[in-house]
Amino acid sequence: MIELEGVPELIDPVMVAAFEGWNDAGDAASAAVAHLDREWKGEVFAALDAEDYYDFQVNRPTVWLDNGVRKITWPTTRLSVVRVGGEKPRDLVLVRGIEPSMRWRSFCNELLGFAHELGVEMVVILGALLGDTPHTRPVPVSGVTSDPDLARTMDLEETRYEGPTGIVGILQEACTHAGVPAVSLWAAVPHYVSQPPNPKATLALLNRLEDLVGLHIPLGELPEDARAWQLGVDQLAAEDSEVAEYVQTLEEARDTAELPEASGEAIAREFERYLRRREPGPGAGPGVATEGTDPSYLRDAPSDRTRPPKPAQPGPEAVPGTEAEVEVSESGEAGSGAEQPDADAGAETDARDGEDGKAAESDKPDKTDKAGKAEKNAEASDSGKGSGSGTDADSEPPVPGEGDRPEGPEGSQDTEK
């Protein structure tokens, strides 16, 4: 049993762990935990015995001077605690170390013992891997878990990975078997710039951790460091045409992969929504008249536009040219030699013909009187001449009188023509 001295009771603690080595591309994960420890001034309360877990030929100790006194730092894993205040205070237990060289099961059991004594509610393990991702795009961070219930409640992916694994995968499985909720956050680091540090990947991990645990994490100068890092890589890529072309290929592949996939059901729903927007009413489509609907209120299609007929108004003057058409028919019956008005010119002279038609109607009685006087004069001349005059009448065509020449709008139109 682990006994902790000087560690206060924690409030809803979450353990956040990261390990240098195989699961820490660009030192992005270990740098994230170091940032939390630095910003919140974590206090180290325990360290694992380096003799039990590390090969010092692989992870060598370092020597340094402290006021002229030589000291040795042994590679190990340390635990610290930070108190996070605010409206919803929550404490963190930070685990930062190096991936052990041996006895991984004992290593994980020891960490789980600390988690049990501190009342840890969830374990979050940070990792970083090399991937085919461009440095110019946001760093993708995936959250995975082995717990199906946790995957549903926290919108995470249930891990399906098969293959070699590191201490991150082993610790996550140990937590699952011990009944402790565990989540792994993985940041993808461009493989062509895998050298540490990578502040952009570190920033992406902290942002995802902030959303996961519901804490506001102070970022300090990390955003500015991330921008400076990307600018430096941009300059290096611009100096090499092959690298620039490769980065462009990765960008195109990334942009294509991030396009939203449209399923058949999604397309059908969108099409139904589109049709509902266009429907003027239940059972009626655009430009289609239904029973009991006035078609004059419906819009026709853009092509083949036709104006609906205007409703008739009372009175003979409502439609210009109506009286003129009646007069034309009467004039045609009065004289067979009368010329009919041109159909194309009728639209231009409808109004004038209507007025002339009224005048022609008023002149009809005068035309009848003149025709009767002309007939009487012809009979009187025939009776005075005798038989010889009849021969002259047959040989010479009669001079047409005023009654034989149609008057009115037709005559005026011929004159104008």
Looking at residue 305, its pLDDT comes to 43
43-47: strand order across its sheet: 43-47, 78-84, 90-98, 14-20, 122-131, 182-190, 141-145, 157-158
Closest CA to 220 of 40, 89, 83, 43: 40
Asked if 131 and 74 touch (Cβ cutoff 8 Å), the reply is no
Say what the pLDDT of residue 316 is. 43
What is the SS3 assignment for 90? strand
For the chain, helix, strand, coil in percent to 5 are 45, 15, 35
Distances from the Cα of 297 to the Cαs of 249, 287, 294, 311, 358, in angstroms? 56, 9, 6, 13, 37
Cα separation, 255 vs 250, whole angstroms: 9
- 3-class DSSP state of 290: coil
* CA gap 24, 6 in Å, rounded: 31
| CA distances (Å), origin 253, targets 15, 201, 331 | 36, 20, 85
Q: What is the DSSP string of 119-169?
A: T--EEEEEEEEEES--TTSPPPEEEEES-HHHHHHTT-EEP---S---HHH
Quote the tokens at residue 207: 């942002």
What pTM, to 2 d.p., does this model score?
Answer: 0.61
d(CA 234, CA 137): 12
DSSP 8-state assignment for residue 12 = S
pLDDT per residue, tens digit, the chain (417 aa), is 455 666 778 889 999 999 999 999 999 999 999 999 999 999 999 999 999 999 999 999 999 999 999 999 999 999 999 988 777 788 999 999 999 999 999 999 999 999 999 999 999 999 999 999 999 999 999 999 988 888 988 889 988 889 999 999 999 999 999 999 999 999 999 999 999 999 999 999 999 999 999 888 999 999 999 999 999 999 999 999 999 999 999 999 888 876 655 445 545 545 554 554 454 444 444 333 334 434 333 334 444 444 444 444 444 444 444 444 444 444 444 444 444 444 444 444 454 454 454 444 444 444 444 445 445 554 544 444 444 444 444 444 444 444 444 444 344 444 343
* Nearest Cα residue to 18 out of 3, 35, 43, 4: 35
